[in-house]
């Protein structure tokens, strides 16, 4: 299994984003986005899977308001554009080009936001 690297960086509005990556950066990227009231740890099984590590570059991040990412107090910090900006920041930080997105629950709407804004 590849080592898991972690990073904390800022989104466009200054909110801290916590993210992790493992696998082969030269392979296609998969970005995992957790659901409501969760965090990156829900993808531990995928991050420990040797086949996924061998064939993909896996990236997961805590959505704003969750886990080790920032928890802004203003309601405006949770607008759709902000989630899309977080995704963009993750892609830029890990140098991802056209990653596949795996998300569920409320984060399914995040995929729409990502598609709408980026």
Structural tokens at position 48: 């420990």
Residue closest to 51 by CA, chosen among 6, 108, 1: 1
- Please write the tens of the pLDDT for every residue from 7-48: 999 999 999 999 999 999 999 999 999 988 899 999 999 999
CB contact at 8 A, 40 and 18:
yes
- Which H or E element spans position 45? helix 44-47
Domain spans in the chain, listed from the N-terminal domain onward: 5-116
Name the 3-class secondary structure at 56: coil
Say whether pLDDT at 108 is over 60: no
The answer to whether residues 11 and 86 touch, using CB atoms and an 8 Å cutoff, is yes
Structure pTM?
Answer: 0.91
Distance of alpha carbon 88 from alpha carbon 118, whole angstroms = 8
CATH of 5-116, one of 2.60.120.560, 3.20.20.70, 3.40.50.1820, 1.10.760.10: 3.40.50.1820
């Amino acid at each position: 299994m590849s080592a898991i690297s972690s990073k904390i960086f800022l989104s466009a509005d200054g909110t801290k984003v916590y993210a992790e990556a493992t696998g082969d950066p030269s392979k296609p990227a998969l970005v995992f986005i957790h659901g409501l009231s969760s965090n990156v740890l829900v993808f531990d099984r995928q991050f420990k899977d040797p086949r996924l590590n061998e064939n993909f570059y896996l990236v997961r991040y805590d959505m704003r308001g969750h886990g080790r990412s920032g928890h802004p107090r203003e309601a405006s910090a949770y607008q759709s554009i902000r989630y899309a900006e977080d995704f963009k920041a993750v892609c830029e930080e890990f140098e991802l080009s056209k990653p596949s997105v795996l998300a569920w629950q409320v984060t399914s709407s995040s995929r729409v936001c990502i598609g709408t804004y980026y």
